[in-house]
Structure 1
């Protein structure tokens, strides 16, 4: 706006100079325009304030008040009265603290660990109590409990309806008389491939229906008392000596059919043997002699042991040809050395 005022002032000053210098011929309308009023500078008196205002209007001829334009321009350039809100600094992020519910008080000490106690009477055996049932550790199928190769160092409490127990290939060292207590349905116990070196004397006595005892590949030196109901006894590969087997240990076992005593330290055949016996394996022991009553009855020359068809005596320091009277009652000759 200041440049516009300066231009106007320059035009007015030029007109004043012309007036002061002297009269000029009258100015006529521009060429091409219709004849009209002659513009005569001499007829204008620019001394009054009103003339200045009329001159201002006649020059521009639009009747526009540039004071208003000046005011609008100045108003438009002024910054608004109210400044935009200053952005507030972002508050620092603090991790939300979770307050535990107050309805349950926090204990001052952690709870005591749960102990699996197998002592006392219970549903799953004489010492189960409130402990974990064996069937969660082993496999139980129709009365049979399979605990083979599970790292056991003792016989676990068994369900009362157990009929067959398989605890092979573990680390069991001793068998207690309470391990099979009250298991009246038990028919078979297989503890082959453990480290058993001792068993309580009466561990099997109360098992009146027991038919099979398999204790091969252990370290037994003394054989506990066995029930008369047994049908199969497997004691292969132990350390049994003749002193470790009770005198007449198998005499009254009227149902015994299979007796496996190979790879031990026996120095004689554990006679008398029941008439029900079908298989007798005694190979790889220290047996050196046989007697007339070992298999036969010297008082009854007509006695024939018909069931015993498989006798193994090989691997012993024994010449079976020297004892012909010991097996004259047998349907088949024993297998042996020399």
Structure 2
């Protein structure tokens, strides 16, 4: 039959051996990559280490690689300058799309710092000592998608952040104010991390972030829930603040909201309107470490409710589901 005919000719022994070795090599590389990711090693760094520089000529398209950095020829659009003790921004060849500058001692980013890096997609500047960023420093990075500035000494949100940005990490800084136009036009932003700052009020600065799904403002000095939160929110983290009240029907406007964390605030029964948390779709609600005396009404779709360290005294009382 046709099926027997298809497999009637044996594969030569040397070809079988090569096929087996090829498959084994692929599996081995996949295993190393999985192990690298599991241990927090950047996948691009791992790939670079697998191909030593000694066997290939460097790609100098758009400028030579700075002496203090590594630009792997196997991934010539990435520049690794992390953990080098650098105090100033290096020259950036125009071909670069990914630049890793984390864990250095950089204090200032001038308006000219990225003048040659207009193709950049990722900029990693976390864990430095940055106190000042030029108002036009990021203005020309029209392709930028990820900007990590967490773990620095910034006191305000940088100006002129590109509208192409999707992930913005500003946690672990000293930000105490956010201007009204700080996020203007950033309709592509999906993740905004502002936790571990000293922000007291956000005003309505978040109103235009139509694509925002994750907002983390935990461990600030907020006294109320930020106004104008985007309707697309999926995760809202406001723990470790000084929030006392929840606006009436506040959560009804979020059809995709599943995770809300309001632990370690100053919420009281009086500050929570009836049925405030009775919202279909909510999966996790953390109200622990507040001043609640009663268990609030929640939706039957809720899977995780945290109420420990409140002032709830009634025993044997069941949660109210509607």
Q: What TM-score bracket applies, with the shorter chain setting the length?
A: 0.5 to 0.7
Contact in 2 for aligned 1:216/1:236 (Cα 8 Å)? yes
Shift of residue 124, structure 1, vs aligned partner: 5.4
**Once the 2 structures are TM-superposed, how far is the Cα of residue 309 of structure 1 from its aligned partner?**
0.7
2:66 and 2:91 in contact (8 A); partners too? no
Residue in structure 2 matched with residue 334 of structure 1 by the alignment: 260
Partner SS for 1:280: strand
Contact 1:260 1:281 in 2 (8 A): yes
Give the CA RMSD over aligned residues. Answer: 2.0
Structure 2: give runs of 5+ residues left out of the alignment.
1-59, 264-289, 291-322
2:71 alignment counterpart = 140
- Aligned pairs for 1:44-55 within 5 A: none
* 1:334 aligned counterpart, secondary structure: strand
1:283 is the counterpart of 2:218: yes
CA distance in 1, matches of 2:215, 2:163: 17
Which secondary structure state, in structure 1, belongs to the residue aligned with residue 249 of structure 2?
helix
Contact 2:187 / 2:208 at 8 angstroms: preserved in 1? no
**Runs of 4+ with deviation above 4 angstroms:** 122-125
CA gap 1:153/1:134 in 2 versus in 1, 3 angstroms: farther
Q: Distance in 2 between matches of 1:149 and 1:311?
A: 33
CA offsets 1:38-84 (integer angstroms, 9 cap, x no match): xxxxxxxxxxxxxxxxxxxxxxxxxxxxxxxxxxxxxxxxxxxxxxx
Partner secondary structure for residue 327 of structure 1: helix
1:325 matched to 2:256? The reply is no
User: Any idea what SS the aligned residue of 1:328 has?
Assistant: helix
Q: Report the Cα offset of residue 319 of structure 1.
A: 3.2
Please name the residue that 2:192 is paired with. Answer: 259
| Alignment deviations for residues 189-246 of structure 1 (CA, whole Å, 9 cap, x no partner) | 111111101111110001111111100100001222111111110001000112xx22
Whole-angstrom CA distance in 2 between matches of 1:290 and 1:239:
20
Equivalenced residues, count? 197
Equivalence map 1:109-188=2 (5 Å): 133-141=64-72, 142=75, 143-188=77-122
Higher deviation after alignment, 210-219 or 138-147: 138-147
Q: Which of 1 and 2 has greater Rg?
A: 1
Give the TM-score normalised by the residue count of structure 1: 0.55
SS of 1:139's equivalent in the other structure is coil
Shift of 1:268: 2.1
1:237-256 alignment to 2 at 5 Å? 237-242=172-177, 245-256=178-189
1:143-201: CA deviation from partner (whole Å, max 9, x where unpaired): 01011111111111011100011101111000011110032211111111111011111
- TM-score after normalising by structure 2: 0.57
Aligned match of 1:208: 142
Cα distance between partner residues in 1 of 2:62 and 2:107 = 23
Question: Separation in 1 of the partners of 2:129 and 2:62?
Answer: 25
**Structure 1 unaligned residues grouped into runs of 5+:** 1-121, 126-132, 297-304
| Residue matched to 2:125 | 191
SS at match of 1:140: coil
